[in-house]
Amino acid sequence: MFTGIIEAVGTIRSASRQGQGMQLWIASEQLDFSDVKLGDSIASNGVCLTVTALQAGAFRADVSAETMSRTLFGKYRPGQRVNLEKALLASSRLGGHLVAGHVDGIASLQSIEKKADSWELWVAMPAELSRYIATKGSVTVDGISLTVNEIKQHAFRLTIVPHTALVTTLQQLRPGAFMHLEVDLVARYLERLLQQDAPVSAVSSELLRTRGFI
C-alpha cells in the first residue's frame, strides 16, 4: 500500500523487452535506498513494482505483460522521469489516501491554467471510471494523491500548489499528455460489497446502514 505522497522523482535508466513484459532500471539521487530490500515495493508513476535488484541509487523491476497492457510503460524510454514512493509502513502518517498502486485507467490532460501561485488542471477520465470520482474526493494521478475540486461530465479539475509541482513530474506535463489514473480504493470496495446483494442503482440509506457505513 502507498499514500500518494511522492518521495522522489526518478529516471528510467534502461528499459528492455522481456517477452511480452519489460525489465526496467530506475535511478534516483533523491530516494533513500538504505532501507530498501529485494522484494520490496516501490510505486513508480503510480504503478506498484517489485524490487528485483539494487545498485547504488537505483533499482531493477520487472513489468509483467498484464501491467504493460494497462499502463504507459510500453511507451516509456530511457530518460523518462517517474514519481517514486516506497511502500507504506504501519507506523507512517497517512498524508494522502490509501493507494494500491494498481492503475484503473489512462487519463489525459486537457488544459493547464495558472491561477495566482497555483495551477488549475482539467483531466479527462475514462467514462467507466467517472462513477468512482467525487468532488472533494481523492484520486491518484501518476502516483500523486490529489483532491478533486470539480467534475464536468467525464473530466475533473485539480489544483496543483507550487510544492507539489516542484517535487513531482507534474511540472513537465503539457495538454495532451497521458497519465496513470487510480480511483479511490474505498469506492471500489464499497461498490463490490453492495453488488453482493443489490445492484448499485438500489443503494439506499437503509442498505448503507445495514452494512455499517452510516
Q: C-alpha cell of 10?
A: 526518478
Q: What does the mean pLDDT of the chain come to?
A: 92
Q: What is the CATH number of the domain that holds 72?
A: 2.40.30.20
Q: How confident is the model at residue 142 (pLDDT cuts 50, 70, 90)?
A: very high
Query: Per-residue pLDDT tens for 5-64?
Result: 999 999 999 999 989 999 999 999 999 999 999 999 999 999 999 999 999 999 999 999
Domains: count for the chain: 2
Q: Is the pTM of this model over 0.85?
A: yes
pLDDT (0 to 100) of residue 13: 98
Answer yes or no: is 202 within a domain: no
Same domain, 81 and 124: no
Answer yes or no: is 37 within a domain: yes
Answer yes or no: is 130 within a domain: yes
pLDDT (0 to 100) of residue 33: 96
Answer yes or no: is 193 within a domain: no
* Domain span at 122: 105-183
Question: What's the rounded Cα separation, in Å, for the pair 165 and 163?
Answer: 5
Answer yes or no: is 68 within a domain: yes
Answer yes or no: is 100 within a domain: no
Q: What is the mean pLDDT of residues 88-113?
A: 90
- Start-end of H helices in the chain: 65-70, 162-167, 185-195, 205-210
Evaluate if residue 156 carries a pLDDT over 90.
Answer: yes
- What percent of the chain shows pLDDT beyond 90? 78
Same domain, 109 and 179: yes
Same domain, 73 and 16: yes
Of 59, 86, 113, at which residue does a domain stop? 86
Question: What's the rounded Cα separation, in Å, for the pair 57 and 39?
Answer: 16
For residue 173, give the nearest of 135, 133, 212, 144 by alpha carbon.
144
Answer yes or no: is 168 within a domain: yes
Strands 21-27 and 8-18: antiparallel
Answer yes or no: is 57 within a domain: yes
Cβ atoms 169, 79 nearer than 8 A = no
Which residue do the cell numbers 522484494 mark?
39
Dihedral angle sign, alpha carbons of residues 36, 165, 161, 121: negative
Burial code (b: 16+ CB inside 10 Å, e: under 16) for 169-196 equals bbeebeeebebbbbbbbebeebeeebee
Query: Per-residue pLDDT tens for 111-141?
Result: 999 998 999 999 999 999 999 999 999 999 9
pLDDT (0 to 100) of residue 203: 61
Strands 8-18 and 178-182: unpaired
